[in-house]
Structure 1
Amino acid sequence: MRIVLAALSLAALTACGPSIAAPGSLADVKEITVPAEDTQLLAVLSYASWCGACKALDPKVEAVRASQAYPGVEFFALDYSARNREAYFDDAKTLGIAETMHMVFPDRVKTGQLYLIDRSSGTVVGTVSQSMTEVEISAAIEAALS
């Protein structure tokens, strides 16, 4: 019986196709929108579906984001999965941080980091990496807000 259930589960997963990101992740959001007027801090994940660091970091960021409200903070993912630099920076422009991201990535886009960007100045005030715990990520967001 267990073998039959395992086979059926595997068949169902295979039929659904490959999963790029976990449901509810930042990477699921494919359309970048202009941040709300009262947004003080942009938490921007530089993401690619093939990036191992992204696959480790995205669920942690989502857990932190779901665990408490961060008034004045909006979370976004700049998707570099297709390695399309122009599209990446077009999305950054929509967020109002194209110049910032050009300064961060003058030569080539790197993925697997969450950048905490002061919206009014465009300054990167913090970064979050995959090695950080959820508690450390939350503390970094709080510190960037103050």
Structure 2
Amino acid sequence: MYRPHILASAALLIACSGASDTDTTSPAVVTVADAPVAGQSMATDDAVAVETRTKAVLVYADWCGSCKVLDPKIKAVQAMGPIPGVDFVTLDYTDRDADSFYAQARDAGVETAVRTELDGTIKTGWLLLIDVDDARVLSKVTREDDTAQIATKIKDALAAS
């Protein structure tokens, strides 16, 4: 069954992602050509993929007081709904193992940005907003930021990436 509200949502996600209907560089980006036409079926649980442009990287440890304050705020922002183009990642430094920490960063594709930002000293209790294309930290979220400020910083970082 054709559902115009789903098509409109897909078009909005495409517009927000900066993709055009001629973008062929990234297969993860949904284009207008992928949208259903009248008579085609599109289930309500079909996900619309959007290219990740910003990684929100939580530098975390179980023993970190700042992490205990920041983590619920980040979860509250995530509970507001998905932010197309943003991928949330946690780098766990609980065991104080730098090799494991940087291996996690490497696996997440953010090692260069994390190493540059931390400058040789792993400090926990940050949410680093990283541009995936140029591997730079666009902004930092701290325990001092409230939920609205965190959401704004994430959206601003996404717009800048």
TM normalised by structure 2 equals 0.66
The corresponding residue for 1:54 is: 67
Aligned mates of 2:56, 2:116 — CA distance in 1: 17
Partner in structure 1 of residue 104 of structure 2:
91
The percent of aligned pairs where both chains have the same amino acid is 38
Structure 2 distance, partners of 1:105, 1:116, is: 13
Larger radius of gyration: 2
1:99, distance to aligned residue in structure 2 (A): 1.4
1:115 to 105, 108, 128: 128
Q: Deviations over 1:106-133 (max 9, x none)?
A: 2210000100000111110011001111
User: Residue 93 of structure 1 aligns to which amino acid in structure 2?
Assistant: R
- Provide Cα deviations, 1:10-32, integer angstroms capped at 9, x if missing partner: xxxxxxxxxxxxxxxxxxxxxxx
Larger RCO, structure (CA 8 Å, separation 6 or more): 1
In structure 1, how many angstroms separate the alpha carbons of the residues matched to 2:113 and 2:158?
Answer: 18
Superposed CA RMSD in Å reads 1.3
* Deviation for aligned residue 1:68: 2.3
**1:55 aligned partner, one-letter code:** K
Does the aligned pair in 1 maintain the 2:50–2:85 contact within 8 Å? no
Deviations along 1:63-94, whole A, 9 cap, x unmatched?
A: 00111220010101100000000000001001
Indicate conservation of the 8 Å contact 2:55/2:87, yes or no: yes
Structure 1 ranges of 4+ moved more than 2 A: none
Residue 84 of structure 2 aligns to a residue in which SS? coil
TM-score, normalization by structure 1: 0.73
SS in 1 for 2:62: coil
Q: How far apart in 1 are the matches of 2:132 and 2:50? A: 10
Ranges in structure 2 where 5+ consecutive residues have no aligned partner: 1-48
Aligned match of 1:11: none
1:21 corresponds in structure 2 to: none
